[in-house]
C-alpha cells in the first residue's frame, strides 16, 4: 500500500481521472469499480472533461458501483443512481446504460439483490480499477467497523457515525437511510488495482490508521493491506502527520 500526498484535491482528482481515462483508452472493454460521495465529484468532472476532449468510445466499458442506500427511489436526488447520472453518465452519454451497474436499494428482497450483484461482479469481473473513498470511521463502500473480511455484497445497517456524517447531503439526519447494500470487503479485494482518495482534515485520522500497516476490523479500510496493488492519494489536510 502506498500513500501519496498530491497536495491538493484538484491535483489528486486530476491524477486519478487520468488513471481511469488511461485504463479506458487502453482497454475498450475495461471494468471499473466506481465510488460516490463528495470526495469524487471533482475527479468525475476532470474525467468527463478528458472524455469530451478526446471523444473516447466508452460504449463497451462496464462499471460497478460500490453501494446504494436502501429505500431511496433511484430518482431520489441523494440516491447513488442519481449521483452517478449527474456526475458521469448524463455528462458523457456514450456509456451504455446496460453496462453501468448500481445495486438496487429498492428491491423487494434485498438479500436476493445483494447476491445478484455479487454474482454479476464475479461473472463479469474482475474489476480492473476499483475507486474508493473512505468514511470518517474508516469504512469503505458501506462496510462499517467490524465487517467480516470475507463479506460478499450484503445489506448493511449504517452506524450512527455514518448517518451523521452523511446527513450533510440530506435536509436533516432523519432523512438519511438507515441501511444500504454494499459490495463486501472480499468483493472489493477482488479488483486488480485499487485507488483510494481522501481529502480534508476529517479523513486524516482514518488515513493515519492505515499507516499502521496492519489489518484491524475496526478500521475496514485496513483490509487493503491484504491487497498487493493499492494506491492512496490524499491532499495536505488528509495526509498523515504521525
Ligand atoms: C459514503 C460512501 C462511501 C464514501 C464515503 C465518504 O458513506 N458509502 O463510498 O467513500 O462515505 O464519503 P464522502 O466522500 O462524501 O466523504
pLDDT at 242: 66
Pocket test for ligand 1, best of 72, 135, 147 (most atoms within 8 A of CB): 135
Q: Does residue 232 surpass a pLDDT of 80?
A: yes
Task: Read off the pLDDT of residues 128-178 as tens digits, 9 standing for 90 and up.
Answer: 999 999 999 999 999 999 999 999 999 999 999 999 999 999 999 999 999
Pick the atom of ligand 1 nearest to 40's CA.
Answer: 14
Do residues 144 and 138 lie in contact, with contact meaning Cβ atoms separated by under 8 Å? no
Q: Does residue 213 surpass a pLDDT of 90?
A: no
3-state secondary structure the chain: CEEEECCCHHHHHHHHHHHHHHHHHHCCCCEEEECCCHHHHHHHHHHHHHHHHHCCCCCCCEEEECEEECCCCCCCCCCHHHHHHHHHHCCCCCCCHHHEECCCCCCCCHHHHHHHHHHHHHHHCCCCEEEECCCCCCCECCECCCCCCCCCCEEEECCHHHHHHHHHHCCCHHHCCCEEEECCHHHHHCCCEEEEEECCHHHHHHHHHHCCCCCCCCCHHHHHHHCCCEEEEECCCCCCCC
Which residue of the set 106, 139, 166, 235 is catalytic? 139
Averaged pLDDT for residues 185-214: 96
Based on the residue annotation, tell me whether 166 is a catalytic residue of this protein.
Answer: no
Share of the chain above pLDDT 70, in %: 100
CB atoms within 10 A of CB 31: 22
Task: Read off the pLDDT of residues 92-116 as tens digits, 9 standing for 90 and up.
Answer: 999 999 999 999 999 999 999 999 9
Based on the residue annotation, tell me whether 137 is a catalytic residue of this protein.
Answer: yes
Please, is 2 exposed, middle or buried when counting C-beta atoms within 10 Å of its C-beta (0-12, 13-18, 19+)? exposed
Q: Which domains does the chain have, with CATH numbers?
A: 2-31+56-128+135-193+212-227 (3.40.50.1360)
Average pLDDT of every residue of the chain: 97
Amino acid at each position: 500500500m502506498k500513500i501519496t500526498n498530491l497536495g491538493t484535491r484538484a491535483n489528486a482528482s486530476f491524477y486519478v481521472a487520468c488513471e481511469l481515462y488511461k485504463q479506458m483508452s487502453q482497454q475498450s472493454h475495461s471494468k471499473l469499480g466506481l465510488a460516490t460521495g463528495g470526495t469524487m465529484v471533482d475527479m468525475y468532472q476532470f474525467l468527463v472533461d478528458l472524455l469530451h476532449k478526446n471523444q473516447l468510445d466508452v460504449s463497451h466499458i462496464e462499471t460497478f458501483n460500490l453501494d446504494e442506500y436502501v429505500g431511496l427511489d433511484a430518482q431520489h436526488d441523494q440516491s447513488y443512481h442519481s449521483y452517478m447520472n449527474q456526475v458521469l453518465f448524463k455528462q458523457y452519454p456514450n456509456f451504455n446504460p446496460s453496462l453501468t451497474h448500481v445495486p438496487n436499494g429498492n428491491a423487494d428482497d434485498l438479500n436476493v439483490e445483494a447476491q445478484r450483484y455479487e454474482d454479476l461482479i464475479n461473472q463479469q469481473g474482475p474489476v480492473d480499477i476499483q475507486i474508493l473513498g473512505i468514511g470518517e470511521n474508516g469504512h469503505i463502500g458501506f462496510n462499517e467497523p467490524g465487517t467480516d473480511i470475507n463479506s460478499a455484497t450484503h445489506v448493511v445497517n449504517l452506524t450512527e457515525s455514518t448517518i451523521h456524517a452523511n446527513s450533510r447531503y440530506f435536509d436533516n439526519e432523519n432523512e438519511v437511510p438507515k441501511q444500504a447494500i454494499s459490495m463486501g470487503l472480499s468483493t472489493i479485494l477482488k479488483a486488480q488495482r485499487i485507488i483510494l482518495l481522501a481529502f480534508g482534515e476529517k479523513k486524516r485520522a482514518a488515513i493515519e490508521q492505515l499507516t499502521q500497516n496492519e489489518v484491524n476490523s475496526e478500521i475496514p479500510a485496513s483490509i487493503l493491506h491484504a491487497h498487493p496493488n493499492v494506491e492512496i492519494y490524499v491532499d495536505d489536510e488528509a495526509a498523515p502527520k504521525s
